[in-house]
Structure 1
């Protein structure tokens, strides 16, 4: 394969990872914050609504680049299987929390997501150190989100 063909394929793969990664939140578009969420008791450290869009845009971009870096080294291997598992868990949280209003089940699900993110981060790090580091902000954000989910669950017993 020629160098330009290889670069083209690599560029297309990066675009593919970005598209697939950004499709995850689109699966839960109908389950976004509404009057129910607005009425919940929240801790004083609850982030403002405007922060979530930019934060997730950055995180999804970092995730996609990390997956692409791993793909460039090992192709479609176990680390990418873990990536897609955590991406599915990521997509599942919003409908459980915002759609079904199940704070306890959402907490259980986000714990599974956290474990999957950590497993992906460690797996990525073995393949490409930079890819592992690109997952650190995502793990930190989900750690915060898990703490917030727990706090909301405690403040708003059903």
Structure 2
């Protein structure tokens, strides 16, 4: 029962921060930007982020249940916090601040943070690391998309 409670707590935290990121939405400015031909329609963003947030939650929970409150789990939480902070920052600087350059930096930082998380989680749980691989691919897409937006609209 205690493990279920920790999973629920992690899901609430991860999706709560995802909700904060979702408060920054594209407006008319974003709609008029030149986008790469391969960019996803906006309607796909929420479902894809939600899938990734679910994978992040389960992955983090696997490490948490394996390590409990320890130095390793605190490091895992810091890495998770950095990732989620960069998700919010990316949405904020892209959609609210309309800064394509800062969005690129946030996206690249996010990709690096996720990669660090995969490497760290693999030391604790292969399954946890594996669950982050789709998220790593997603952040790769976000990074290339951000660079493309910057390049096409500079």
**TM-score scaled by length of structure 2:** 0.93
CA distance in 2, matches of 1:81, 1:95: 21
Q: Which consecutive residues of structure 2, in runs of 5 or more, have no partner in the other structure?
A: none
Partner SS, residue 113 of structure 1: helix
CA distance in 2, matches of 1:135, 1:29: 21
The residue correspondences of 1:4-83 to structure 2 (distance < 5 A) are 8-76=1-69, 77=73, 78-83=75-80
Which runs of at least 4 in structure 1 moved beyond 6 Å after TM superposition?
none
Deviations 1:80-121 (A, max 9, x none): 221122111122110011010000011011111111111111
Match of 2:92 in 1: 95
CA distance in 2, matches of 1:31, 1:116: 21
Cα drift, residue 25 of structure 1: 2.2
**TM-score scaled by length of structure 1:** 0.91
Count of matched residue pairs? 150
CA distance in 1, matches of 2:110, 2:21: 16
CA distance in 2, matches of 1:60, 1:152: 24
CA RMSD of aligned residues (A): 1.1
Which protein is bigger by CA-based radius of gyration? 1
CA distance in 2, matches of 1:75, 1:33: 39
Match of 2:129 in 1: 132
